[in-house]
Amino acid sequence: MNWEITYIDGKNYVRIVSTGIFNVKELPRGFDALLSSDFWKKGIPLLFDNSDLSFENANFGAMKEASICYLYFAERLGPGKAVLLMKSAANFGFGRQFQFLAEDKGERQIRVYSNEAEALDWLLDPRNLAHY
């Protein structure tokens, strides 16, 4: 699983494009890379673009492990918003499982979308946006 992390300057959010096969054991490496980026600011909006990520080996247990990993990084991520962009209905379901398991583990609001325009509308809506 690979993460391509890009700061979108004009819109002030971070886009993380995930490719390969979902592997919960690789999540800490991705979060470490995000949090050590030059542009990192606690609370900045995050768009996790999982459109090209395969969830072929994923299950509820993997989503539970992913939520535990998220808990480890939640304080450093800070308050704000995060979007999981998913391509298929099955992957959308995995995203919703993660949202359900992880959202109460940190201050960040998490939403799952299959439409990028809708995802960005919610993510960048200034109402209730974290201050960083």
Look up the pTM and report it.
Answer: 0.92
CA–CA separation, 103 vs 74, rounded Å? 10
Walk me through the domains of the chain, giving residue ranges and CATH numbers. Answer: 2-124 (3.30.750.24)
Nearest Cα neighbor of 115 from 90, 75, 86 is 86
Least confident span in 11-15, 33-37, 40-44, 104-108: 104-108
Nearest Cα neighbor of 13 from 65, 76, 83, 71 is 83
CB 43 within 8 A of CB 74: no
pLDDT of 29 over the 90 cut: yes
Position of tokens 């995203």? 95
pLDDT in tens, 31-87: 999 999 999 999 999 999 999 999 998 999 999 999 999 999 999 999 999 999 999
